[in-house]
Structure 1
Amino acid sequence: MSSLSAGWYKDPADPETQRWWDGEGWLGKAIPADQTPPDGPPPAEEPPAAAPDHTAPASQIGEAAQTGQAGQTGQAGQTGQAGQTGQAPQQTPPGQQYPAAGNTPPQGWAPPQGWTPPPGWTPPPGWTPPGWQPQPGWQPQPGWQPQPGWQPPPGWTPPAGWTPPPGFPMQAYPFPYQVQARPHGLPLAGLGRRLVARLIDIVAVLVLNVLVNGWLAYQWWQEVEPIFRATMEDPLATPEAASARSSYIMLTILVVTTALWFAYEVPALANSGQTLGKRLLGVKVVKLEDTTALGFGRAFRRWGRLGMWTPLWSCYGVGFLAQLIDSGSVLFDQKLHQALHDKSAGTVVVMAPPAHAQPPAQIKPENENDPTGGRR
């Protein structure tokens, strides 16, 4: 016994027609799907009466008529029963089997209790039965929207490159399947690309140090060379303490290195958001709130959180360890890939847009009242 009430529904065998469902089976002839059905069930089909044989006696005619009518009635009943039994889709009421992906169920229809979709069945675009759960390996169709509170089955993972529709519970999945943030519509710069850009910047600053700190490095080597030679000749001997002059020279070298790093990075980030390495690798530092220039203050805050530790390299490598922790913190921010110096300055590193995609600079006229902007 089906839980579907009697009424007119689309015929599962032929979706372009509709028939009367009496709760147990289909009755009557099918009518076009766009035709307004009559109120109530269709009229019963009457079998045609047999023509009487005028040459036979009246008693035989009446007996033959009764016999023929009974035979036709039995034959019609058997034929109707056989037709219903032979067509499997017609014997299955709507809700027990969904015949076609493009066949939309009647308005207000809900699957009966305990209903499960057949193997390989997928809902039509834009429709999801209440309580339905996809089978393993199911992939959403274009335009499919989940109902509020819908949860994918255990072990289901979104396909690669798939963009979930609004309301899809992607927060239930690990990071590789979540939608990556795009600040200002720009993709985040990859960690490998950022590492190569930083190495290029380190080499550039090192070249500047060779040119500027070369003489100081030579003076420092003159101070520590005797100690180095003595240690190499007798490794077991107690090494001599470094002179105070060599410590002062090393501190001066580190301070000059910090100044060169500042002069190399801060003005470039303040104006364009790109150093030499970032420009070669196609990445850019931008604000979180907009894409205007960083400015000197924000560029200094970003660099200072990392660069001001350089003079402390002489304190048993404390400065280098602090810089290493700061740079490695980017691995723990899966959302925006911000290191500690990015968080302190409110910046994020993104892929630089192509030159032709950048908006042209706004040129302010010297005379605000001149509509031509000073052009003649």
Structure 2
Amino acid sequence: MTQQPSGWYDDPSDPTMLRYWDGVTWTSHTAPRKSPTASQSTIGHADQAPTTPLPQGGWRAHSPQPGPPPQYPGDYPGAGQQNPYGGQNPYGGQYPVAPQPQAWMRGPVTADGVPLASWGKRFGAWLIDGLILAALSYFALQLFAPGYWDTVQQFVDLASTGDQTAVEGQIGKLTEESLKASIVTWLTITAYCVAFWTTTSQTPGKMVLRISVRRADRPGALDLATALRRRLLSLIQLIPFISGIYAVIWLLDGLWPLWDNQRQALHDKVGATQVVEGRQPRRPS
């Protein structure tokens, strides 16, 4: 499969701009399609006839042949150059028209034309973030729910003795400590995700895989309301009596982008977000 070479192409999110493709992903470098110095170009104007009278004797002063048109600062290679095939210059004093993306570049995109991240990249980012969150959650539980691990160990020890009465007496305490641990873990994960989503749009895992999350209707980092809405689905694990089905919902949520036309997980649909290739533009300061 031929890889698209790096260069300037039509910006998929703004038809009036060009964006630089580095051979792997879209960069943040953009430029207007129309050259800012195009008005200075003399290409296309007929040469003016000399007004100096000819010397006596009928001879003509030697006039050098016109050379190639000058390159103006800021022009891209090819801008303002003579068309080697004759006829009018195809660029017309503007930047050259970027070629259409190759077939390998085509795929699901956002409403404004930004390529969506693949499921494989999202899964890889989830694994990286999962390792980080496992460590953070462990320390959070030690600080805010220190009795959880002791309660779990006591329950395991009682279960190994076969004392059914003692086990049943421990279930209530285990349930209480488990709920406390679930709340601490959910808050830890939410703080981690929201902090990154609302600043860089990339958790550390997404940074490594060069993908980011954005709203479906516009680019940029998520606002706080959208970021929190994206975490709503995971609250099911804290609701009594139905928390047991969260494992099924969690599995469906992770696999949903495989068959969804917009490659959205269920939590993306709740939050009206999409995960795309590349970074998000920074908010103006």
TM-score (norm 2): 0.55
Distance 1:361 1:250, change over 3 A: closer
Distance 1:245 1:359, change over 3 A: closer
Aligned-pair CA distance for 1:227:
2.2
Secondary structure, counterpart of 1:286 in structure 2: strand
Distance 1:204 1:309, change over 3 A: farther
**Contact 1:250 1:314 (C-alpha < 8 Å) held by counterparts:** no
Match of 2:134?
206
The one-letter code sitting in structure 2 at the alignment partner of 1:337 is: R
Match of 2:272?
346
The one-letter code sitting in structure 2 at the alignment partner of 1:331 is: L
For 2:179, which of 212, 229, 251 is the aligned residue? 251
Match of 1:180?
107
Q: Distance in 1 between matches of 2:206 and 2:241?
A: 29
Work out the percentage of aligned pairs sharing the same amino acid. Answer: 26
The one-letter code sitting in structure 2 at the alignment partner of 1:182 is: V
Does residue 1:325 correspond to 2:252, yes or no? yes
Does residue 1:226 correspond to 2:164, yes or no? no
Secondary structure, counterpart of 2:117 in structure 1: coil
Root mean square deviation, CA, Å:
2.9
Does residue 1:189 correspond to 2:117, yes or no? yes
Q: Which runs of 5+ in 1 are unaligned?
A: 1-160, 164-177, 364-376
Secondary structure, counterpart of 1:317 in structure 2: helix
**Contact 1:283 1:352 (C-alpha < 8 Å) held by counterparts:** yes
Q: Distance in 2 between matches of 1:360 and 1:187?
A: 18
**Contact 2:212 2:278 (C-alpha < 8 Å) held by counterparts:** yes
**Contact 2:220 2:283 (C-alpha < 8 Å) held by counterparts:** no
Query: 1:126-178: CA deviations, max 9, x gaps?
Result: xxxxxxxxxxxxxxxxxxxxxxxxxxxxxxxxxxx549xxxxxxxxxxxxxx9
Does residue 1:278 correspond to 2:206, yes or no? yes
Higher relative contact order (CA 8 A, sep 6+): 2
**Contact 2:232 2:270 (C-alpha < 8 Å) held by counterparts:** no
Q: Which has the larger radius of gyration?
A: 1
**Contact 1:287 1:348 (C-alpha < 8 Å) held by counterparts:** yes
How many residues are matched? 179
Q: How does 1:303-314 map to 2 (within 5 A)?
A: 303-305=231-233, 307-312=234-239
Q: Distance in 1 between matches of 2:266 and 2:115?
A: 20
Distance 1:302 1:188, change over 3 A: same
Secondary structure, counterpart of 2:135 in structure 1: helix
Aligned-pair CA distance for 1:179:
4.7
TM-score (norm 1): 0.43
Query: 1:257-301: CA deviations, max 9, x gaps?
Result: 111111111121122211111111111011222213210000111
Secondary structure, counterpart of 2:231 in structure 1: helix
The one-letter code sitting in structure 1 at the alignment partner of 2:256 is: S
Aligned-pair CA distance for 1:196:
1.1
